[in-house]
Amino acid sequence: TTTTTTTTTTTTDEKASSSSRSESSSSWSESSSNDPDYHIVFSTSCTPQQNWESMVFFYHAMKVNQPGSITRIVSGCTGKQMQELLIWHTEHIQNAMSSGFRLHFTPDYSRVRLSEGKHPYKYMNKPFGLKHWMEHGLGMSMNIAMGVERKENENKKSLRDDIVMLMDPDMI
């Protein structure tokens, strides 16, 4: 399975330089660099219904000047769907609403079987997609999560105090 992470995914360098923060949010101008970053993430597939719910989610986040970054974790897209969604997202979400609104593509985890299960469990995209984003989008590993940070992260802001809020796309 090929994994594609777009340039719209937050890297640790971007996070450290606070580019994930919305320019229009006044609350960020009052926060110090020691405050935790906020990451709102929600998991979807590539269906038209999930595209619509995601657009509405991003719109409402913009309307309330939601601080932090908001990432749509998109699982199981075809190559064509990924390209179309990336183009649409860049034009209508990032350029029109906020550069802090991102996409992160993951493989289709809905085919994962539970231990000794006979059938795939379609709800695996959310937990495995979140794990994929934390590892590939934030650069987090078990070493960081357990407090044993990697050497290359020594000069970067710690992720240990960041706040991740996992939501559903219809939670507006």
Q: Considering only residues 139 and 69, tell me which one the structure prediction assigns the higher pLDDT.
A: 69
What pLDDT does 71 receive?
Answer: 97
Question: Measured between alpha carbons, how far is 94 from 84 in angstroms, rounded to an integer?
Answer: 14
Question: Measured between alpha carbons, how far is 9 from 137 in angstroms, rounded to an integer?
Answer: 6
What pLDDT does 139 receive?
Answer: 84
Cβ–Cβ < 8 Å for 137, 71: yes
**Of 70, 40, 28, 37, nearest to 161 (Cα)?**
37
What pLDDT does 146 receive?
Answer: 53
**Of 80, 15, 17, 82, nearest to 44 (Cα)?**
82
What pLDDT does 147 receive?
Answer: 55
pLDDT tens column, 114-146: 666 677 677 889 999 999 999 999 888 755 555
Q: Considering only residues 79 and 5, tell me which one the structure prediction assigns the higher pLDDT.
A: 79
Per the document, the length of the chain is 172
pTM of the predicted protein model: 0.72
pLDDT over threshold 50, residue 27: no
Question: Measured between alpha carbons, how far is 163 from 67 in angstroms, rounded to an integer?
Answer: 12
What pLDDT does 16 receive?
Answer: 30
pLDDT over threshold 60, residue 107: yes
What pLDDT does 149 receive?
Answer: 55
What pLDDT does 79 receive?
Answer: 96
Q: Considering only residues 89 and 141, tell me which one the structure prediction assigns the higher pLDDT.
A: 89
1-15, 39-53, 94-108: the lowest-pLDDT one:
1-15
